[in-house]
Amino acid sequence: MKWRTKTATNKRLAAIFTRHTMTNNFPEILTKEKINERHIDFRNALFGLDKNSISIENLEYLTNIYNSTKQLDIRNKILNLLYDLDFVTLKEFFSNAYKKERYLDMKVYALRGLSYFVGEKDIENLLEKFNQTLAKRQETTPYNYQEYELLRGKNALPYLVKKFGYKCFKETLEQVNKQYNAMPEAFKGHFTTDENGEIVSLRKPEEVKNMMDKFWEDDRKKYQ
Residue 19 — very low, low, confident or very high, per pLDDT cuts 50/70/90? very low
Q: What is the reported pLDDT for 7? A: 55
Q: What is the reported pLDDT for 20? A: 45
Residue 209 — very low, low, confident or very high, per pLDDT cuts 50/70/90? very high
Q: What is the reported pLDDT for 14? A: 45
Between 104-114 and 90-100, two packed helices, what is the crossing angle to 10 degrees?
160
* 40 Cβ contact partners less than 8 Å away, ≥ 6 residues apart: none
Residue 137 and residue 44 share a domain: no
Residue 64 and residue 7 share a domain: yes
Q: Assess if residue 132 is contained within a domain.
A: yes
* Residue 103 DSSP label: S
How far is residue 149 CA from its own chain's centroid?
12
Among residues 82, 117, 143, the one where a domain terminates is 82
Residue 112 and residue 68 share a domain: no
Q: Assess if residue 90 is contained within a domain.
A: no
Using one digit for the tens of pLDDT, what is the confidence trace for 113-162? Answer: 999 999 999 999 999 999 999 999 999 999 999 999 999 999 999 999 99
How far is residue 49 CA from its own chain's centroid?
15
Using one digit for the tens of pLDDT, what is the confidence trace for 87-123? Answer: 999 999 999 999 999 999 999 999 999 999 999 999 9
Model pTM above 0.85: yes
More confident residue, 9 or 181: 181
Using one digit for the tens of pLDDT, what is the confidence trace for 31-81? Answer: 988 888 989 999 999 999 999 999 999 999 999 999 999 999 999 999 999
Residue 21 — very low, low, confident or very high, per pLDDT cuts 50/70/90? very low
The domain in which residue 67 lies consists of 1-82
How far is residue 96 CA from its own chain's centroid?
15
Q: What is the reported pLDDT for 35? A: 82
Residue 186 and residue 117 share a domain: yes
Q: Output the average pLDDT for the chain.
A: 91
Residue positions counted in the chain: 224
